[in-house]
A and B are shown apart, each in its own frame.
Chain A
Amino acid sequence: MSDAADVQRVLSGDVDAFARLVDRYYERCARFAVRMLGNRDDAEDALQATFLRAYRSLGKYQERDKFSAWLYRILVNQCRSIASRRSQRERVFIREEAVLLNAPDRRPTWTGEDEEFVQRVLAELDPLLREAFLLKHVEDMSYEEMSALTGVGVSALKMRVKRACDRLRTRWEHIKDE
Chain B
Amino acid sequence: MSDDFSSLDPNVQWIVSEARRPVTVDAAARGRLLEAIRREPRPDRSSPVVAWLLHPRHFALPPLATLAAAAGLVGVGILTGLAFNWDGRAPTEQGSPVAVDSQLPDSGASRVIKFVLIAPQAARVAVVGDFNGWDSTATPAVRQADGTWATFVKLRPGRHEYSFVIDGTHFVSDPNAPIAPDDGYGQNNSVVVVGGRSS
Task: Please give, as numbers and ranges, the residues of chain B lying within 8 Å of A77 by CB-CB distance.
Answer: 175-176
Contact A47 B25 (CB under 8 A): yes
Contact A60 B37 (CB under 8 A): no
Pick the contact of B19 from A122, A162, A169 — CB < 8 Å?
A: A122
Pick the contact of A34 from B15, B23, B48, B89 — CB < 8 Å?
A: B23
Task: Give bound CA distance, A16 to B18, whole Å.
Answer: 33
Chain A binding surface, main DSSP class:
helix
Q: Indicate whether A57 reaches chain B with its CB closer than 8 angstroms.
A: yes
Task: Please give, as numbers and ranges, the residues of chain B lying within 8 Å of A158 by CB-CB distance.
Answer: 1, 3
Report the minimum CB–CB distance from B40 to chain A (whole Å). Answer: 6
Contact B1 A57 (CB under 8 A): no
Chain B binding surface, main DSSP class:
loop
Task: Give bound CA distance, A51 to B67, whole Å.
Answer: 43
Q: Indicate whether A134 reaches chain B with its CB closer than 8 angstroms.
A: yes
Pick the contact of B12 from A10, A15, A34, A169 — CB < 8 Å?
A: A169
Q: Indicate whether A100 reaches chain B with its CB closer than 8 angstroms.
A: no
Task: Give bound CA distance, A57 to B88, whole Å.
Answer: 7
Pick the contact of A11 from B43, B176, B178, B188 — CB < 8 Å?
A: B43
Q: A48-B33, A57-B43, A121-B15 are in contact. Are A165 and B9 (CB under 8 A)?
A: yes
Q: Which residues of chain A from 15 to 43 have any CB-CB distance to chain B below 8 Å in the complex? A: 15, 18-19, 22, 26-27, 30-31, 34-35, 40, 43
Which residue on A lies nearest to B23, using beta carbons? Answer: A34
Pick the contact of B43 from A10, A47, A87, A169 — CB < 8 Å?
A: A10
Task: Give bound CA distance, A90 to B185, whole Å.
Answer: 13
Contact B29 A81 (CB under 8 A): no
Q: How many residues of B contact A (CB 8 A)?
A: 54
Contact A47 B33 (CB under 8 A): yes
A interface, size bucket: 35 or more
Q: A47-B29, A56-B88 are in contact. Are A169 and B175 (CB under 8 A)?
A: no
- Contacts A30-B25, A80-B175, A168-B12 aside, 12 further interface pairs with beta carbons under 8 A come to A40-B25, A48-B36, A53-B88, A56-B40, A57-B86, A59-B43, A87-B187, A128-B181, A138-B16, A138-B19, A165-B12, A169-B11
Q: Which residues of B contact A (CB under 8 A)?
A: 1, 3, 5, 8-9, 11-12, 15-16, 18-23, 25-26, 29-30, 32-34, 36-38, 40, 42-46, 48, 51, 54-55, 86-89, 96, 172-173, 175-176, 178-179, 181-182, 186-188, 197-199
Listed A/B pairs (7) with beta-carbon separation below 8 Å: A22-B30, A22-B34, A34-B25, A52-B33, A60-B54, A84-B175, A165-B12
Q: Which residues of A contact B (CB under 8 A)?
A: 10-11, 13, 15, 18-19, 22, 26-27, 30-31, 34-35, 40, 43-44, 47-48, 51-53, 55-60, 62, 77-78, 80-81, 83-85, 87, 90-91, 114-115, 117-118, 121-122, 126-128, 134, 136-138, 150-152, 158, 161-162, 165, 168-169, 172-173
